Amino acid sequence: MAFIYKRKNSPFWWINYRNPVTGKRELKSTGCRIGSGPDKRRAEEIEAEKTLAERQAPAAAIGKWDSWVTDFIKEQVSGRTSERYLSAWRTLRMFLDETKIICPRDVTYQNCSTYLKWRADADHKNGKYNAGKNTAILEFKIFRWIMREAVKRGYCQGNPAREVVVKRAPRKIFPDLSDAKLKEIFDAIQTEPEPDRTQFKHSFAVALLHGVRLNETNVNPLQDVNLTSEMPTIRFFQKGGRERIKPLHPQLFKFFKTLQDDKAKQTYPMDTFPDGRLKWGGRWTKFFVRHGIKSTEPNACFHSLRVTVENVLREAGIPKEIREAYLSHEHGNQDVNARYDRIKTREMRICHEPLKRSWLE
């Protein structure tokens, strides 16, 4: 909607309006003098003309998805969160294309209410795979967020996605894995062809000894691993954009020393991934299926390693606050102690011995 306003040091009325061709906001002098009755009326006529032109503009010209959504996501979120949002947007974009929704003003409640069903149906020809309910709900919530921004920008009058009620399915309970099962996984990795073997082996080792998430296993050995200090450390870039430094597990010292000597900038090569990093979790799932891990542990996945680390440390009697620091299980200031406790990096070294595996060399 167009509107006129006064601008500092200008004798004329200015107008803020959306260009009906580009869909972008523009500022322009009306040439009508402030303080003149006829000029004020003429400025109001221009305001009305611009508003009418905006409302009559083709829908495709106002807020077309490709003209703003990707940039908006990159501006609002960063790091791996940005990657997850952009991945969700690519799937949402498929849905919008299939349903011929070319801009926010075309979105209806009926469109939104069909998304979860659409997402559950696989269509491999178009690169779409069926997803679990909670994944689909997360994507839909991202769409709600995008539509809320579209309303703020004036691309549509309301947000129909807000009216659709979605309820999460119960979360899967990931199992902790026995030592025998961990050894079975490690042995199966040795049978994989390269470069898969290196990617699986290195990510497995870092996760098993530090309990980090899959995307957090790939660090820069030259920048994120310090082997020269009295207490070697490793830096992880974790969920929510957090940067955390942990004492490096002794079993990884030789491993990272080799990588540093080779001037490697990654724990394992990511540029060989045919589907990009965001398919990395799927490759691990296929690995578990291929080697029969899923047949005995149906809910097993890479995140089970993080669950395993937590339970190994708990059974070893490691204090809860140290376990949480080592695993970056931070839940905010829930009690008085949380506001005063400061777990030092050196204190976390007591987590190393229980996690040691003789066969992980």
- 28: tokens are 């322009």
Closest CA to 12 of 4, 21, 20, 22: 4
**How would residue 229 be classed by pLDDT, with cut points 50, 70 and 90?**
confident
- 141: tokens are 């919530």
pTM of the model: 0.63
Beta bridge partners of 236: 244
Whether 60 has a pLDDT exceeding 80, the answer reads: no
Give the pLDDT of residue 172. Answer: 74
Give the pLDDT of residue 134. Answer: 85
CA distance 291 to 309: 22
CA distance 251 to 201: 14
Instruction: Average the pLDDT over each of 61-65, 179-183, 288-292, 301-305 and give the range with the smallest value.
Output: 61-65
User: How many other C-beta atoms lie within 10 A of the C-beta of residue 178?
Assistant: 11
Most distant pair of Cα atoms in the chain: their distance: 90
Whether 59 has a pLDDT exceeding 80, the answer reads: no
Q: Which residues contact 221 (CB under 8 A, 6 or more apart)?
A: 256, 259, 260, 264, 265, 266, 267
Contact 57, 20 (CB under 8 A): yes
Strands of the 233-238 sheet, one edge to the other: 225-226, 233-238, 242-247
User: How many other C-beta atoms lie within 10 A of the C-beta of residue 30?
Assistant: 19
Give the pLDDT of residue 328. Answer: 86
Cis peptide before 195 (omega within 30 of 0): yes
Q: What is the dihedral of CA 177, 178, 180, 184, to 10 degrees?
A: 0
CA distance 310 to 323: 7
Q: Which DSSP helix (H) or strand (E) runs through 31? A: strand 25-33
> What digits encode the pLDDT tens for the residues 251-302?
999 999 999 999 999 999 877 665 555 578 888 989 999 999 998 888 899 9
Q: In degrees rounded to 5, what are phi and psi of residue 316? A: -85, 0
**How would residue 309 be classed by pLDDT, with cut points 50, 70 and 90?**
very high
Contact 209, 235 (CB under 8 A): no
Contact 2, 17 (CB under 8 A): yes
Per-residue pLDDT, averaged over 67-74, amounts to 92
> What digits encode the pLDDT tens for the residues 104-149?
988 999 989 999 889 887 665 566 667 778 888 999 999 999 999 9
Give the pLDDT of residue 342. Answer: 63
Give the pLDDT of residue 253. Answer: 96
User: How many other C-beta atoms lie within 10 A of the C-beta of residue 181?
Assistant: 17
CATH 1.10.443.10 fits 179-355, yes or no: yes
Left if phi > 0, otherwise alpha if psi is -120 to 50, otherwise beta: which for 127? Answer: left
Instruction: Average the pLDDT over each of 21-25, 39-43, 223-227 and give the range with the smallest value.
Output: 21-25
Residue type for position 63: G
- 293: tokens are 């891990």
CA distance 339 to 337: 5
Please state, for a pLDDT cut of 90, what percent of the chain lies above it. Answer: 55
- Extents of the domains making up the chain: 3-57, 65-163, 179-355
DSSP 257: H
What is the residue-averaged pLDDT of the chain? 86
Give the pLDDT of residue 19. Answer: 79
Report the range out of 96-100, 173-177, 250-254, 294-298 with the highest average pLDDT: 250-254
Q: In degrees rounded to 5, what are phi and psi of residue 82? A: -60, -40
- 326: tokens are 């080592």
